[in-house]
Amino acid sequence: MSFETRHGSMEEIKPLLDQALNEQFPGGMLQRKWNGDVLELSGPGAKGEIRYEGGQLVGFADLKPPASLMQGMIEEKISSAMKKALG
């Protein structure tokens, strides 16, 4: 999934993205770790990342059981958080 942004860098997006993901995944359901400008995501059966590339916020996830059983919901929540962070 990718979304165009008017933000010039990930530094501008980081706090907004953290807040939006906290709302979508409360209570530590999705572990997050910043590695420079790349946000690494992990959870039971899930790994992914969100990065800034050429004016777009780009995210992907690799889901295995048990996360793969909730693929649609997880993708929707991450997508929603990305959109909210971008305004």
The tens digit of pLDDT for each residue in 27-73 reads 877 899 999 999 999 999 999 999 999 899 999 999 999 989 999 99
Q: Which residues contact 59 (CB under 8 A, 6 or more apart)?
A: 1, 2, 48, 49, 50, 51, 78, 79, 82
Q: How many domains does the chain have?
A: 1
Q: Does the pLDDT value for residue 23 go beyond 90?
A: yes
pLDDT attached to residue 85: 96
pLDDT attached to residue 28: 78
CATH number for the domain spanning 62: value is 3.30.310.80
Q: Does the pLDDT value for residue 86 go beyond 90?
A: yes
Find the domain containing 45 and state its range: 2-86
Token pair for residue 50?
């969100």
